[in-house]
Amino acid sequence: MKKLFVLGVSLSLLVSPFIAAAQLGADSPPALDEGQITDYGTLMDKIGSIGSYMLGILLAIAVIFLIFAAFTYLTSGGEEKATTKAKNYIIYAVVAIAIGLLAKGLVEVVRQFVLA
């Protein structure tokens, strides 16, 4: 019964970002064959839209990873090895989020310099 409960909670946590995105009316992923890339601005727009979707996927995976790490930390029972492992998971997830946000910011900075 406990395994079934954990499975149900895990599946609901896995599906919840997609349900939230559907509630917000998220756009469909960009189709790469709809229109020709005619200039540098169009190319940067395509790269930016693909990057935005990749950042969203990264953030969704990082949040799931953070929830898993918190669950691992809470169920460690005070074991030093399990607690350290969970703390490392949290650090890795936060670093992944930071790198993703910095990459998105760097793309925007480069876009402003090039298109200005």
| Tens digits of residue pLDDT in 16-70 | 666 666 555 545 555 555 566 777 777 777 777 888 888 888 888 988 999 999 9
Which one-letter amino acid corresponds to residue 14? L
d(Cα 110, Cα 13) in Å, to the nearest integer?
A: 36
Picking from 56, 53, 32, the residue whose alpha carbon sits closest to that of residue 43 is: 32
pTM of the model as a whole: 0.58
Residue 110 pLDDT > 90, yes or no? no
Domain ranges for the chain: 29-115
Report the Cα–Cα distance between both ends of the chain, in Å, rounded. 61
The angle formed by the CA atoms of residues 5, 11 and 13, to the nearest 5 degrees, is 105
DSSP string, the chain: -HHHHHHHHHHHHHHHHHHHHHHHTPPPPPPTTSS---SHHHHHHHHHHHHHHHHHHHHHHHHHHHHHHHHHHHTSTT-HHHHHHHHHHHHHHHHHHHHHHHHHHHHHHHHHHHH-
